[in-house]
Amino acid sequence: MENHVSLTSLMIVVTISFLVPIMINRLRWTFVPVVVAEIVAGIVVGKTGLNLVADDATLQLLSTLGLIYLLFLSGLEVDFGMLTSKQRQGNVNPLKIAVAVFVLILAVSAMFGMWMVPLGLTDQPYLMAIIIATISLSIVMPVLKENHMTSTPYGQTVLLIAVISDFVTMILLAVFVSLSTDTGSHPLLIFTLFLAFFMTYHILKPLSKVEWFQKLSKGTVQIGTRGAFTLILFFVALSESVGAENILGAFLAGAILSLLAPKPELVHKLDSFGYGFLIPIFMVMVGVNLDLRALFSDPSVLLLVPYLLVALYAAKIVPSLMLRKWFSWRETLSSGVLLSSTLSLVIAAATVALELDLIERNVHDAFILVAVLTCVISPILFNRMKPDVPEELPPKISIVGVNGSTIPVGLELKKEGYRVTMYSRSQPKLTPQAVQEEVKFPMVELDQMELSELEKHNAFDTDVLVLATGTDEFNRAVAQYAKEQDDRLRVIVLTDDPSIQDELTEQGITAFSSLFATHTLLKGLIVFPASVRLLTQKGDSIQEITVNNERYNELLLRHLPFLGDALVLRIYRGEDSVIPHGDTQIKSGDRLLVSGSPEHIQQMRKELE
């Protein structure tokens, strides 16, 4: 009989998780995050409402796995490339600003946590401070993406504040919980967990690039997916064995995978499994176990809920005022409002704290309720207050070295809308003024072709760096330096030395040679003459666009409203190539090879990326 009840309750929860996204879409309630709607649906069928779901062992297990997987994906969302990038955006350094703002967020949160003690709301001020300081990266990231702000200095700064908060508060929470309970671990044991983190990363990094290992990622083997789940369970078990909470192990597993820079298709598979099954069960069960009747029957809640709501907003808005030095008042205030949205870590922290008897049920329920409110209120207010998004500029390209190949290529790229700058050593026969008049793009003349000169003239403040001087060693040294400064920078190097080509390729740098280019072009003319003509014809442009906007995931190609004269020639999905038709679905992570006028391609890029 118990199994029957278990399966019935599970069926109700899974059915709710299936129907909620459909209802949101049909009712056009796109301002409500799906996870928030799942919690609300859980409230309706749970203790507060119809009481249809029995919280049995099966649902408890799946709910726990959902929490673990949620923290794993939170770790996976942390973009360590942003944290380690030294690239500045104009006069704004997003990383330094984000660190300063987050330190203030912690300070203000600590103040609100301390004030809760004399008010009789808690006896755990430090735990309260950590929870108040949390920011929901899973809310901030989609909102910024939908508004095309992620590549702007403003968007990067807000995103970095959320990333730092996500990472630091998770670590602080796990350490606090471990040290505050009788079963907690010694600090040295927690240190061993972080030691395992670094050792595992350094073992897996070279392994992930081995050719035979990559081949196992296809077909029925799917070694990447198997490895991800092995990583989760290994760190969860290791965390519990050293007395830390399993959520810390799950988060570290996700962080390791993020550092390994997994392919978009693997991330999409992991997201699909988590947000398609385990996480919805956890979110619905959070709502099921939320007893609002009992919550509001407690007189202290009448003070606790508004206090927490004010604390969560004030702890983000007040520190965000620092941004006024670099951004407008509208940008400053809207950033504070958006950063006030908090969900996954609050739910995780409140759930774990309740299980360990660090907080009472009414405090747990109050935090869940306030987290749900912030996730609904903050995106709506942000969209009302958000600043006007400046028109997205085309990619910047720095070409170091002037020769018979780089000048014509730079000219064509300039005509297609790219922002091209060329860097050359002083040449009496080729003055910068003459080149600018001839090809209509900036030519920077260097006293010496040296690294310091390139830095002085902002050659590394670019999206693509092309190194085409006549010296292989110089090209290699500059390429390696550029990658060290910003691992996300695309670097292309001209070299005819096979050993240097292999070395650079292993470091994620694109190497090309005149011999390889000639060989490829000749083969193309023989085997794919039409494709070569398409690439070399005048007028239309051919560019590659990556589908990053989840709004267009699984949309039919013929339903794209902004194609104009652009034509999708090919869709690259992981290692596969798809010939597109009108009824072809585009998916998140797809790379579209597009031909058309630069204006319409730019419009596609703005919408899809």
Q: Is the pLDDT of residue 184 over 70?
A: no
Whether 505 maps to a domain, the answer reads: yes
Q: 35: closest CA among 350, 286, 337, 364?
A: 286
- 31-41 average pLDDT score: 81
My answer on whether 212 and 266 are in the same domain is: yes
For 496, the enclosing helix (H) or strand (E) is none
The pTM of this model reads: 0.67
Q: Among candidates 345, 315, 312, 341, which has minimal Cα distance to 174?
A: 345
Handedness of CA 106, 107, 109, 113 (dihedral sign): positive
Q: What are phi and psi of 543, to 5 degrees?
A: -140, 165
Q: How many CB atoms lie within 10 A of CB 208?
A: 18
534 falls within a domain: no
pLDDT (tens digit per residue) in 109-122: 999 999 998 988 88
The domain spanning residue 497 has which CATH number? Answer: 3.40.50.720
Q: Is the pLDDT of residue 215 over 70?
A: no
Q: C-alpha distances in angstroms, 257 versus 41, 264, 506?
A: 32, 12, 19
Residues 496 and 546 in one domain: no
Structural domain contains residue 551: yes
Looking at residue 107, its pLDDT comes to: 94
What is the CATH number for 566? 3.30.70.1450
Mean pLDDT of the chain: 79
Name the domain boundary from 490, 525, 560: 525
Does residue 511 sit in the same domain as residue 580? no
pLDDT score of 316 = 94
* pLDDT tens by residue, 221-276: 577 788 889 999 999 888 878 766 777 888 889 888 888 877 777 888 888 888 88
Same domain (yes/no): 99, 240:
yes
CA neighbor of 37 nearest in space, from 324, 298, 287: 287
Residue 532 in any domain: the answer is no
pLDDT per position as a tens digit, 375-425: 888 888 888 887 766 666 678 888 888 877 787 788 778 877 788 888 887
22-26, 81-85, 123-127, 488-492: least confidently modelled range:
81-85
Looking at residue 152, the DSSP 8-state letter turns out to be S
pLDDT for position 1: 43
CATH of the domain at 144: 1.20.1530.20
- For residues 580 and 507, membership in a common domain is answered with no
Give a yes or no: residue 490 inside a domain: yes
Q: Do 412 and 286 belong together in one domain?
A: no
Tell me the residue range of the domain where 478 lies.
396-525
From 69, 48, 19, select the one nearest 288 (Cα to Cα). Answer: 48
- Residue 390 domain-assigned (yes or no): no
- The per-residue pLDDT for 159 is 82
Least confident of 87-91, 334-338, 473-477: 87-91
More confident call, 496 vs 534: 496
In this predicted model, which residue has the larger pLDDT, 435 or 369?
369
Mean pLDDT of 153-173: 84
Give the range among 90-94, 242-246, 583-587 with minimum mean pLDDT. 90-94
- Please say which residue of 357, 385, 413 terminates a domain: 385
The residue-averaged pLDDT of 345-371 equals 84
* Strands 464-467 and 396-400, bridge-based pairing: parallel
Question: Which pLDDT value is given to residue 536?
Answer: 64
Regarding whether 302 and 186 lie in a shared domain, the answer is yes
Question: CA-CA-CA-CA torsion for 287, 290, 291, 292, nearest 10 degrees?
Answer: -80
328: Cβ contacts below 8 Å, ≥ 6 apart: 387
Q: How many residues does the chain have?
A: 609
pLDDT at 87 over 80: no
Question: What's residue 607's pLDDT?
Answer: 76
Domain boundary among 501, 525, 549: 525
Exposure string of 154-188, with b = 16+ CB inside 10 Å and e = fewer, is bbbbbbbbbbbbbbbbbbbbbbbbbeebeebbeee
Residue/partner pairs of 336-339 with CB below 8 Å, 24 or more apart: 337/313, 337/378, 337/381, 337/382, 337/385, 338/139, 338/140, 338/143, 338/144, 338/158, 338/378, 338/379, 338/382, 339/105, 339/135, 339/140, 339/158, 339/161, 339/162, 339/165
Q: How far is CA 295 from the centre of its chain?
A: 36
Considering the domain architecture, whether residues 427 and 544 belong to the same structural domain is answered as: no
C-alpha 164/C-alpha 194 separation (Å) is 17
Give the per-residue pLDDT at 15.
Answer: 92
All residues at 6 or more sequence positions from 93 whose CB lies less than 8 Å from its CB, including other chains = none
- pLDDT level of residue 205 (50, 70, 90 thresholds): confident
Computed on alpha carbons and rounded to an integer, the radius of gyration of the chain in Å comes to 27
Joined tokens for residue 456: 């002085």
Q: What is the pLDDT of residue 289?
A: 84
Tracing tokens 């267009």 back to the chain, one arrives at 552
Distance CA 547, CA 552 (A): 8
Number of domains in the chain: 3
pLDDT for res 363: 86
Asked whether residue 531 is assigned to any structural domain, the reply reads no
Say if residue 308 is in the same domain as residue 355. Answer: yes
Q: How confident is the model at residue 519 (pLDDT cuts 50, 70, 90)?
A: low
- Same-domain pairing of 474 and 376: no
Looking at 283-292, 501-510, 554-563, which range is the least confident one? 554-563
**Do 239 and 263 share a domain, yes or no?**
yes
Q: Do 51 and 196 belong together in one domain?
A: yes
Identity at 173, one-letter amino acid code: L
490-494/419-425 β-pairing: unpaired
Summarize pLDDT for 432-479 with one digit per residue, the tens.
554 555 555 677 888 788 888 888 888 888 888 998 888 888 888 888
- How far is it, in rounded angstroms, from Cα 23 to Cα 45? 16
Taking residues 197-210, what's their average pLDDT?
81
Does residue 323 sit within a domain? yes
